[in-house]
Amino acid sequence: MRTLKVLATAALVAALAVPAFAADTIKIGVAGPHTGDLAPYGIPTKEAALMVAEQVNAAGGILGKKVEVLPMDDQCKPEIATNAATKLVSEGVSMVIGHVCSGATKAAMGIYKEAGVIAISPSATNPPLTQSGDYPNFFRTIASDDMQGKLAADFVTGKLGAKKIAIIHDKGDYGKGFADFAKKFIEEGGKAKVVMYEGITPGAMDYSAVIQKVRREGADAVIFGGYHPEASKLVSQLKKKHVKAAFLGPDGIKGDGFLEIAGKKAEGVYATGPMDVTKYADNQKARAAYQKKYGKEPGTFFDQGYAAMEAALNAIKVAGGTDYAKVEKALRSSYVETAVGKIKFDNKGDAVGVGFSVYQVQNGKFVEQ
């Protein structure tokens, strides 16, 4: 009886141990919203990672090993993100591309840190992720929200010359973070007044009370922190209620999702977003390959996701393996040509060489200002 038990235990241990030993591929996790209403932000990164892996594998892999991409859905929800992270770690990934939303990223980073896994996010712009120093294993290929908030504040008070500014956010980590920075920089700048600062509930039936408040305060610009569904609801209600304030949102609204839902009402809306990177050769190549494969334009954060994957694989190549310390050093020290330009990462994990610009919707397209 005892022998049986021992044997069974041994078999169980062996079964669990097998995946860890069978590391003949380099496993890269890709985490983000692949289903749910925020899927348009996650799927482009997944597609980008798969494309890079495919190309690298076609050319023989790196260090003689094939790259294997493990996509994991987190729906941008922190509670699902922790599950996704645990799953990826248990599958033995060497690095993770993701997560996409700041809230989900924050929830997952602790798990990666403990497991000694490096994560490169294409889109989590929340500043404390790098600035707090809590996550030495975190990197990103996008600039952080404080830069975005500063740009928004400067643009609205400077170029638009707004004097009274209403700030609305969606109460989420990302939206409120952006709104807070915009508020801080407007107040520090002293050129304009924040006349209203308020959170809205995503998914509420309408925002008419908030709009009426904007009108009562006589705001000449609205800065919104959040994602495109709420932004388009706000924009369309502002138009309907004849409020003529300029509207500016963060990169969460700078995408086709917003243009599609808001339709004609999107016209004239401003959004900050990653700098135009289409001038880089790598980017043009990636976009052309995507066009050829899927027959459409790549979505939001495609470039950043592509760059994250390129940076990750390059670091593994430079480090000569997937050893945590060596890969981390490689990320911080060696420049790499990516879809968002020539970048490396600074001590905190922010990419050196990326930034934001302001765009405006003109004739149904975002045009760099």
Binding site for other proteins (CB under 8 A): 35-37, 39-40, 171, 198-201, 203-213, 215-216, 228-229, 232-233, 236-237, 240-242, 257, 260-263, 265
What is the rounded CA–CA span in Å between residue 223 and residue 271?
9
Strands (E), 226-348: 246-249, 270-274, 336-338, 341-345
Task: Describe the strand order of the beta sheet including 221-225 as a list of residue ranges.
Answer: 193-199, 164-169, 221-225, 246-249, 270-274, 356-362, 365-368
Is the Cβ of residue 75 or residue 94 nearer to other proteins in the bound state? 75
CB of 74 to other proteins, least distance (A): 14
Spatial separation of the C-alpha atoms in residues 34 and 25, rounded to whole Å = 24
Q: Which is nearer to other proteins, 36 or 110 (CB)?
A: 36
Q: How far is the CB of 93 from other proteins (least distance, A)?
A: 25
- Whether 280 and 102 have beta carbons less than 8 Å apart is answered as no
Q: What whole-number distance in Å separates Cα of residue 164 and Cα of residue 117?
A: 46
Query: What kind and span of H or E run contains 318?
Result: helix 302-319
Cβ 27 to other proteins shortest distance, Å? 27
Give the type of residue at 109: M
Q: Which is nearer to other proteins, 48 or 262 (CB)?
A: 262
- Dihedral sign for Cα 74, 78, 80, 85, please: positive
61 vs 202 by CB, closer to other proteins: 202
Q: Is the peptide bond before 99 cis (omega within 30 degrees of 0)?
A: yes
Q: Write down the least CB distance from residue 148 to other proteins, Å.
A: 22
CA dist 136 and 106 (Å) reads 13
| Residue 215 vs 332, nearer CB to other proteins | 215
Complex with other proteins: residue 236 or 357, whichever CB lies closer? 236
Judge residue 213's burial from the number of C-beta atoms within 10 Å of its C-beta, 0-12 exposed, 13-18 middle, 19 or more buried. Answer: middle
Please state the closest distance from residue 303 (CB atom) to other proteins, in A: 21
β-bridge partners, 367: 360
- Tell me how far, at minimum, the Cβ of 181 lies from other proteins, in Å: 18
Residues 6+ apart with CB under 8 A from 43: 32, 33, 34, 299
If the CB atoms of residues 61 and 199 are measured against other proteins, the closer one turns out to be 199
Give me the least distance between CB of 120 and other proteins, in Å please.
Answer: 25
Nearer to other proteins (CB atom), residue 207 or residue 306: 207
Which residue(s) pair with 30 in the sheet? 71, 97
To the nearest whole angstrom, how small is the minimum distance from the Cβ of residue 42 to other proteins? 11
Closest approach, Cβ 56 to other proteins, in A, equals: 30
Closer residue to other proteins in complex, CB, 265/348: 265
Find where tokens 């981390």 sit.
328
